[in-house]
Amino acid sequence: MTDTPTFAIRPSFLGIEKSDPAAAICVAGIPYDLGTSNRPGARFGPNAIRQASRMLVDGDHPIAGTAPGTQDIADIGDFRIVHGEIAGTLAAIEAQAKPLNHLVALGGDHTVTLALLRALVARTGPLALVHFDAHVDTWPESFGQRFGHGSPFYHAIEEGLVDPKRTVQIGIRSPMEKSVHDWTLGKGVTILFAETVHERGPAAIAERVREIVGDAPAYLSFDVDALDPAFAPGTGTPEIGGLFTWQAQAILRRLAGLPFRGMDVVEVSPPYDVAEITALAAATFAWEYLALLAPRVND
């Protein structure tokens, strides 16, 4: 337990004091939302997630038995963006992410994931992808924008950044054109609809994820709108019928041992949040990811 009350923790992620970009794991915010097609505000997500993360510093992870914030981890602040310019911002994000050993990114809208994958794949080769979302994000463009928050995985597949046959999307339930659905499945992506998660339960879903990813280097992208709006109202494109917070948490906790190389949590829009519940969910999923990377004392 920390000696400092949670409300007084320093305003970094988990109150982390280290800011050295040479750390084994770096947390960085990406205050960007120009790719948003509905409600804006995800540019304010990184600070909201950091503030909500204060609730997670008061003890060890109950399953792993470790305190994720005590690893060699640094909060290096926010990435620079090229305000008003999508292509310039993607290039800037890629350049800043590329030298980091292992990045946990706090978005920002989902457009940023494309740049993060571009930065990472130079070291790893094509990645397996574990993608929590209400939307497949494989539209060729987003309302006339070539690069928007509805298209990062279309471009990631087309650019060879992810292996679609080792890609699994969890929580999908939004409307989508049949052509988008068919293109996504035709590439080999596995879609696990939210209804499937509700019917089969977290243990079965996690087992399916492990089968798909196998031993390939993997990336985790968590769009907070994978959660039902009851648990994540503070997001730009909410969709009813989503995952319960406990379901997503239970799935993620069962993915220990997968060779993850990086992670982002995106689409937190604080202007639409209520009592920090969306920001806390996002902070918790980043914390859960860090627990996956730590030695598991309770195994």
Q: Which two tokens stand for residue 30?
A: 């990406």
| Cα→Cα distances 41→77, 241, 245, 273, Å | 19, 23, 22, 10
What lies within 8 Å, CB to CB, of 114 at 6+ separation is 90, 147, 151, 152, 155, 156, 161
How many Å apart are CA 126 and CA 102, to the nearest integer? 16
Give the pLDDT mean for 273-294: 96
Residue 196, classified by CB atoms within 10 Å of its CB into exposed (0-12), middle (13-18) or buried (19+), is: middle
Q: Which two tokens stand for residue 213?
A: 């990813």
What pTM was estimated for this model as a whole? 0.95
How many Å apart are CA 223 and CA 68, to the nearest integer? 21
**Cα angle for residues 265, 172, 122 (degrees, 5° grid):** 45
How many Å apart are CA 169 and CA 191, to the nearest integer? 5
Q: In this predicted model, what pLDDT tens digit does every residue of 72-97 receive, in sequence order?
A: 999 999 999 998 889 999 999 999 99
Is 6-293 assigned to CATH 3.40.800.10? yes
Question: Which of 24-38, 131-145, 167-181, 226-240 bottoms out in mean pLDDT, i.e. has the lowest?
Answer: 131-145
Question: Taking 80 as the threshold, does the pLDDT of residue 45 lie above it?
Answer: yes
pLDDT for the residue numbered 58: 83
Q: Which pLDDT band, with edges at 50, 70 and 90, does 101 fall under?
A: very high
pLDDT for the residue numbered 297: 60
Map out the domains of the chain as residue ranges: 6-293
Q: In this predicted model, what pLDDT tens digit does every residue of 141-158 receive, in sequence order?
A: 776 778 888 899 999 999
Give the pLDDT mean for 206-223: 98
Give the pLDDT mean for 246-252: 98
**By percentage, how much of the chain surpasses pLDDT 70?**
97
SS3 content of the chain, % helix, strand, coil (to 5): 40, 20, 45
Chain Cα centroid distance, residue 265: 3
Most confident of 38-42, 64-68, 251-255: 251-255
CA dihedral 96, 99, 105, 107 (to 10 degrees): 20
Strand partners, 172: 193
